[in-house]
Structure 1
Amino acid sequence: MADTHRIQFEPVGIEMEVDEDDKILDAAFRQGIHLMHGCKEGQCSACKSYVLEGDLQMERYSTFACNDAEVAEGYVLLCRAHAFSDCTIELLNFDEDELLGGIPIRTVGTTVAAIEPVTGDIVSLRLRPAEEFDFRPGQYVDLTIPGTDEHRSFSMATIPAGPAGEIEFLIKKYQGGRFSGLLDDGLAVGDELSMTGPYGSSTLKDGHVLPVICVAGGAGMAPILSILRHLVATGSTRPVRFYYGARTAADLFYLEAIQELGAELTGFEFVACLSESAQGADGLQVEEGNVTDVVDRREAELHRSEVYLCGPPPMVDAALTLLEASNVPKDQIFYDKFTSPATDGA
């Protein structure tokens, strides 16, 4: 049986226990401590922290997320770290409201309710949980690939009070994808899937008053739809602008749903940003170019807004560069950085 050690998190003064076999981030989740996190696979740096005292060792991780010099200095990725003594860890990024007030992470069974294509490469997957499953707009879950211990992360497009209790996911198909390949041949209505979550800190913050700017691409539409639906359901009066990046008009979807949501929001504006061709986009507000370039052209006061991002990693990286250049405070930027399915076999 593995030894158990005490972990002290500073500067928040929170303590917990962790077994040597358990990764620190996973142990924190189970004990109701919601640390900042992203990919949970050692590929991003969202959970990077600093070891003040103690013996920690990491499983395999990307040196892009934590390089050798940082490791030598004492930095660690909590999603890959195991404790072999009592430890004191300094959290570099944390949300005080979320730390002890997040929704408990748990695993529930679900039944496939619908699988429907919405574009040539994006599919709507609707699941019906076997029990009530709460989450916040903008969060995601891990869906287990049937017959394996592997999982893939997908954001919810709905809010918890969705129709018939169903939760919708928008999933981009990739050639050879382990999970997305099942959407064409392998999953059917009535099949069962295991779902674990909710994860993610890119959540809409109730009580905030700044205008909301949403920037998305591809299947990143999902968490933005969840955020828009929550704003409508709560009667929010915050101005909202939604920039969605696609290649052509044929890659746009759910336009009617967006229009209906926008009609219930204050100062809502939806801008389709088409990087290759604007042909066939009649009746839409369209800007040509990459979505981040369009945002740069149209938003002169980004620093006076809260910005929510979701999309392919290159889009998120480009948006973060733009937001930094625009002097947007970090506590006004919300995103969960997923690893690229093109490299991890989604």
Structure 2
Amino acid sequence: MKFLQWLHRWTGLLILIQLLLWTISGLYFALVDHHGMKGHQYHQHPPHFSLSAEQLEQLDSSWWGDLQEITQVRTRLVVGVPQVEIHHRDGVAYFDGRTGEPWRTHQNRAIDIANSTYSGPGEAIRVASITRTRELHGWEGQGYRIDYNDDLNTRIYVDSVSGQVIDHRNTPWVVADWMFRLHFIDYTGGRNFNNLVIIVLSVVTLWFALSGLILLFKLLGTGEMRFSFRQVAFEAEVGQERKTFKDKAHKTLLQVLQQRDIPVESGCGGGGTCGLCVVEVNSDTPITPAERDLLSAEQLAQGYRLACQHQIGKVTSARVKKLDVSKYTLTLASSEFLTPMLKELRFIVEEGDVHFAAGQYMQFLIPSASTSTRPHDVPEAFSPEWLNIQAATFEHEDVRRSYSMATAGPARELVFTVRYQPATNGHDRPGVGSTYLCNMRVGEKIVAEGPYGDFKRLHGADRKMFFIGGGAGMAPLRALIQEELAEPSPRSIDFFYGARNRQELAYVDEFEHLKERAMIHFEAVLSDKRESCDWQGAEGYVHEAALAFLAEQDISAYDFYVCGPPKMLSATLQMLEHLGVDRSRIRYDDFGI
């Protein structure tokens, strides 16, 4: 018994130490912006230059004639030197585009490559050859580490085989890395929350935590803890009207303004990815990394900030642009599956027509309640791959979720495509907004506010229109295409739409019909290789299919419209940037989902 008491005491001490480490690291994650943990404070994307016609003529295919099963050939300029990248059966090979010799990155070139991605105030002071490093988990090879003498001790790693920057590291990243190690109890740097140490600790903690809590409650003589937040005064100027009110200091400007029925654009629901919730505050208000990415230097200097990035306890007043939006009561008229995870919802507006431009969106006011997630009536064709929403009940606060209209306006019937967000990434419940909307019954009502957004057609030019989309991004793109086709002389339209498999293609019959009538050029692209046996269309990622098509086109003749999942959106925008498309000719919608 004494041995068990001794074991309990010391094991309990070890568990307490780990709980303290979890608390410290958890507080760090809550207080430090995630943009500051990446080590990219002084990272910039290097300018993209294509090979000139003379450089392309100098390339000789005999350089890589010994390689087997070549699948892809790419060319680029690496700090002014042409490079050829060959994908073949045994991997990837790199050649000097001037001589055909295997690519080599010497120290001076490595410094130039690192400098092309560095925007900080320092200079390169040290370069060292490396084959592996603790700061790059899982990387091994030949490379260089370049140290800079700035305030963050920036280090840039360059791969000598490919001549590419592997990543940036600095002191804030080291702190964040150790916090991840302490939190995940994975000291390899892999950030794996399913390692053997934490599994063993979880089993041991289960018993010790229960017994420890009982002893703690007896010792303290209480079983209840109360928390409260300081109330602060806040002033908002909307147009010519000033409003003053009090609220909890931990809330963001966006939350307070929306709860006080002051309209503010927000596509991502406060995630800091869409850049729409712009308000004017004091110019000395701190600038967050998200604001540096999404707002211009001129806007930041004038005091514009994102309402979702600041709490009212730190910003006491703000000027908000007055928006011409209204609240509407919508009655669900029909609810139909388009794909296993995408539902088309048709609502009737009680107040009459809503005047909106194609590409705009509405904010749905999802009420706070015990939301029951009822199983759906799933069409038989979808049932093999459908993840049924199991019956469950969970509590949530009032939230707003944004969805684009899937048809052109004005209209009394509003059509939306809602993608159900299942419980993923460690979360034990599905998306609040999509679950609520997908479980509405015909005849039920909901309030929506809008229209919001500037994802509209570019006017004043006769350029052709190029649409790239995927998933629920179909909705605004479909509306924009409908609006353009309604014009007396519609512009030429190319539309590339991506999905994993044929079941996830929404409205494909509609666009195939338009293609047959020569009204648009439409290409459906599937990324699931299992479809290749009987699929006659394009395969791979949708931005890659679009890139292959654009390689034979005059890119300057197009305006581009992009909407889809975050990874697809990011890859497509990066692809357009590499092609040299001016940002003024690109429209995109980022809902952060």
Shorter-chain TM-score category? 0.7 to 0.9
Distance 1:174 1:24 in 2: 23
Q: What is the CA-CA distance between 1:55 and the residue it aligns to?
A: 5.8
Does the 8 Å contact 1:249/1:279 carry over to 2?
Answer: no
Q: Which residue of 2 aligns with 1:308?
A: 561
1:149 aligns with 2:398: yes
Q: Which residue of 2 aligns with 1:331?
A: 584
Distance 1:215 1:264 in 2: 20
1:111 aligns with 2:111: no
Q: 1:188 aligns with which of 438, 441, 460?
A: 441
Matches within 5 A, 1:190-339: 190-262=443-515, 266=519, 268-277=520-529, 278-279=531-532, 286-300=537-551, 301-339=554-592
Q: Secondary structure at the match of 1:234?
A: coil
1:43 aligns with 2:272: yes
Distance 2:277 2:326 in 1: 23
Residues 209 and 107 (structure 1), Cα distance of their counterparts in 2 relative to 1, 3 Å cut? same
CA displacement, residues 227-266 of structure 1 (integer Å, 9 cap, x when unaligned): 1111122234311000001111222131222234446675
Does the 8 Å contact 1:218/1:312 carry over to 2?
Answer: yes
Distance 1:143 1:76 in 2: 26
Q: What is the CA-CA distance between 1:169 and the residue it aligns to?
A: 0.8
TM-score (norm 2): 0.45
Does the 8 Å contact 2:283/2:304 carry over to 1?
Answer: no
Q: Which residue of 2 aligns with 1:12?
A: none
Matches within 5 A, 1:21-60: 23=253, 38-39=267-268, 41-44=270-273, 46-47=275-276, 54=283, 56=285
Residues 74 and 275 (structure 1), Cα distance of their counterparts in 2 relative to 1, 3 Å cut? same
Aligned residues: 306
Does the 8 Å contact 1:113/1:127 carry over to 2?
Answer: yes
Q: Which has the higher contact order (CA 8 A, sep 6+)?
A: 1
Residues 3 and 121 (structure 1), Cα distance of their counterparts in 2 relative to 1, 3 Å cut? closer
Q: What is the CA-CA distance between 1:308 and the residue it aligns to?
A: 0.6
Q: 1:78 aligns with which of 306, 320, 330?
A: 306
CA displacement, residues 85-111 of structure 1 (integer Å, 9 cap, x when unaligned): 688x9xxxxxxxxx99xx821211100
Q: Secondary structure at the match of 1:323?
A: helix
Unmatched runs of 5 consecutive residues or more in structure 1: 8-14, 90-98, 341-346
Higher fraction of helix? 2
Distance 2:572 2:401 in 1: 24
Distance 1:217 1:20 in 2: 43
Distance 2:366 2:331 in 1: 14
Residues 151 and 265 (structure 1), Cα distance of their counterparts in 2 relative to 1, 3 Å cut? farther
Deviates more, 1:39-48 or 1:308-317: 39-48
Distance 1:120 1:5 in 2: 44
Equivalent AA in structure 1 for residue 418 of structure 2: I
Alignment RMSD, CA only? 3.8
1:178 aligns with 2:398: no
Does the 8 Å contact 2:285/2:303 carry over to 1?
Answer: no
Q: Secondary structure at the match of 1:160?
A: coil
Residues 177 and 280 (structure 1), Cα distance of their counterparts in 2 relative to 1, 3 Å cut? farther
Deviates more, 1:210-219 or 1:123-132: 123-132
TM-score (norm 1): 0.74
Q: 1:120 aligns with which of 326, 333, 340?
A: 340
Distance 2:518 2:457 in 1: 15
Q: Secondary structure at the match of 2:495?
A: strand
Q: What is the CA-CA distance between 1:75 and the residue it aligns to?
A: 6.8
Does the 8 Å contact 2:282/2:303 carry over to 1?
Answer: no
Matches within 5 A, 1:10-29: 19=243, 23=253
* Higher CA-based Rg: 2
Equivalent AA in structure 1 for residue 404 of structure 2: S
Distance 1:218 1:204 in 2: 20
CA displacement, residues 197-240 of structure 1 (integer Å, 9 cap, x when unaligned): 11211111344321101111011111111011111222343110
Distance 1:252 1:198 in 2: 27
Q: Secondary structure at the match of 1:208?
A: coil
1:135 aligns with 2:356: yes
Equivalent AA in structure 2 for residue 138 of structure 1: G
Q: What is the CA-CA distance between 1:113 and the residue it aligns to?
A: 0.7
Among all aligned residue pairs of Structure 1 and Structure 2, give the percentage whose two residues are the same amino acid. Answer: 27
